[in-house]
Structure 1
Amino acid sequence: MSRCLINLRDKNNQNSGYIGPDYPGFGYSIPDNASGLVLLGGNLSIKNIITAYTKGLFPWHIDNGLVHWYSPKKRCVFLPEKLHIPRRITRTLKKTPIFVSINKHFDHVINCCAKPRTNQKSNQAWLTRPIIDAYIELNKNGWAHSVEIWKDDDVIGGLYGITIGRIFFAESMYSDKSNASKFAIYSLCKLTHIYDFPIIDCQVTSDHLKNMGAIEIPKNEFLTIVNRECSNMNKFSKWPKNLISLNKLLKL
């Protein structure tokens, strides 16, 4: 039995391409639109997701069984080389030992990210079971990575995303304690700077990200960087294996 393939058309009524159930189908020009939504349908296979990121798309949510793929006109990014740590964060780290790990508890981090935020109803959450399962599979295959923030013996916050070549495509973060998500971002910025990553993709802008130093760049500039850094579609595996003192990491 064949499945229906749904096309989005731009304002000139030209096909913008499609993603079939088993075919990436990313050989098209991505039209600009206000919402950033460019495609519906397809599946969340490893091949589809990785190919999507290399074309500037990401899966945001699923409605009525259809994956919604986005590519915003402006992209929110961190420039790791321009990381600035506020003095109050430095003072906090001197008083309170905080540690960082990579890929120790990916399942825990992504499931915590999926919990409803304050003033958000559970049915408004975009990070649903099919998306969670897809990224857990990406983690098992070396594409998706998590940053965990530790205080004493507890993980108090973190983030997760995908690395292709030398770009980290951040997906979501969470915080159970004050500043924990900031610690995760600062850790990731420092590590990616050490490994010469030019940007961390944060997809869409928020006040929280801007307050930590994120900026917006035009989509064409973002795609130029992605094409340069992700053309070989290499996995990145040089992450630290053990817990690291965040205070010491930020001094490197």
Structure 2
Amino acid sequence: MPYFELSKNEIDFPPAYFADPEGLVASGGDLNPERLLLAYNSGIYYWHYPLKHIKWWSPDPRTVLHLDSFDFSIDRFQHLEKQFTVGLTNDFERVLRHCQKFYNLEDKMNNNWLSERAFRSFMELHQKGLAHAVEVWRDRHFVGGIFGVAIGKIFFGEYAFSMEENADEIALLYLIKKLKEKDFQLIDMQKETMQINGFDLDEMSRTEYVALCKANAERYTAKFRQL
């Protein structure tokens, strides 16, 4: 059990380095947008079992994808582009609802669930210009997507899903392409729902990752709408 219980009345976190060996920093609080933004900027993310206390994590090391060193395969991207239609979505809610259909299985309730309270917060972040999604289509059918939150030069990945083989791959490749064009530094890939086969991911120490998040928050504002 965590040593820190967060209050719903105050939006704060203990330092990430207070995490236990599994990376658990605290529990409780809520999922309002302001708290989520503070968590991102503190190197912390939420992950919890539905109907239980929200839990806040900062594992060591942290799984990320460094964009400057990522070997982007134009040939692979163009090959997949022939099979799918992919782009930034104008219907963010559709991507979230499909994520819920994909992950929220009643007989498999687990940490991957996208709860309604999280849904509402991500919708608010999208309305503020911070949360964004890529959607993938094939033959007029919506078959995959990915979404997360963009702050400064970091994209904090939340969920990716695929209802056809390789749909999540081209979604991530498209996202990487767009982020590289705008000189983003990295994608946080820590969550299980962002793990996509075929991608070589990197690791950062907690100390390094938290320092990067804090410096990023101080220097930049979200700029994903320019893509």
Is TM-score (shorter-chain normalized) higher than 0.5?
yes
Aligned AA (1:105): D
Paired residues for 1:46-195 under 5 Å? 46-85=33-72, 89-90=76-77, 92-93=79-80, 96-116=82-102, 121-124=107-110, 125-195=112-182
Q: In structure 1, what is the Cα distance between the partners aligned to 2:138 and 2:16?
A: 46
Q: In structure 1, what is the Cα distance between the partners aligned to 2:145 and 2:87?
A: 9
Structure 1 match to 2:2 = 8
Structure 1 match to 2:205 = 218
Give the superposition deviation at 1:167.
0.6
Aligned AA (2:9): D
Q: Do 1:75 and 1:205's aligned partners in 2 also have CA atoms closer than 8 Å?
A: no
* Shift in CA distance, 130/93, structure 1 to aligned 2, threshold 3 Å: same
Higher mean alpha-carbon deviation, 208-217 vs 65-74, is at 208-217
Give the superposition deviation at 1:170.
0.3
Normalised by the length of structure 1, the TM-score is 0.78
Query: Unaligned stretches of 5+ in structure 1?
Result: 1-6, 10-16, 241-252
Q: Could you say what secondary structure the match of 2:86 adopts? A: strand
CA RMSD of aligned residues (A): 2.9
* Shift in CA distance, 119/211, structure 1 to aligned 2, threshold 3 Å: farther
* Shift in CA distance, 86/117, structure 1 to aligned 2, threshold 3 Å: farther
* Shift in CA distance, 222/141, structure 1 to aligned 2, threshold 3 Å: same
Q: Do 2:169 and 2:196's aligned partners in 1 also have CA atoms closer than 8 Å?
A: no
Give the superposition deviation at 1:50.
0.4
Q: In structure 2, what is the Cα distance between the partners aligned to 1:207 and 1:25?
A: 26
Give the superposition deviation at 1:120.
8.7
Q: Do 2:148 and 2:159's aligned partners in 1 also have CA atoms closer than 8 Å?
A: yes
Give the superposition deviation at 1:63.
4.9
* Shift in CA distance, 177/29, structure 1 to aligned 2, threshold 3 Å: closer
Larger-gyration structure (1/2): 1
Structure 2 match to 1:198 = 185
Q: Do 2:8 and 2:29's aligned partners in 1 also have CA atoms closer than 8 Å?
A: yes
* Shift in CA distance, 99/89, structure 1 to aligned 2, threshold 3 Å: same
Normalised by the length of structure 2, the TM-score is 0.85
- The percent identity for this pair of structures is 25
Structure 2 match to 1:39 = 26
Number of residue pairs the alignment of both structures matches: 226
Q: Could you say what secondary structure the match of 1:66 adopts? A: coil
Aligned AA (2:97): N
Q: In structure 2, what is the Cα distance between the partners aligned to 1:97 and 1:138?
A: 31
The Cα offsets for residues 61-90 of structure 1, whole Å up to 9 and x where unpaired, read as 255452111111111111122333458734
Query: Unaligned stretches of 5+ in structure 2?
Result: none
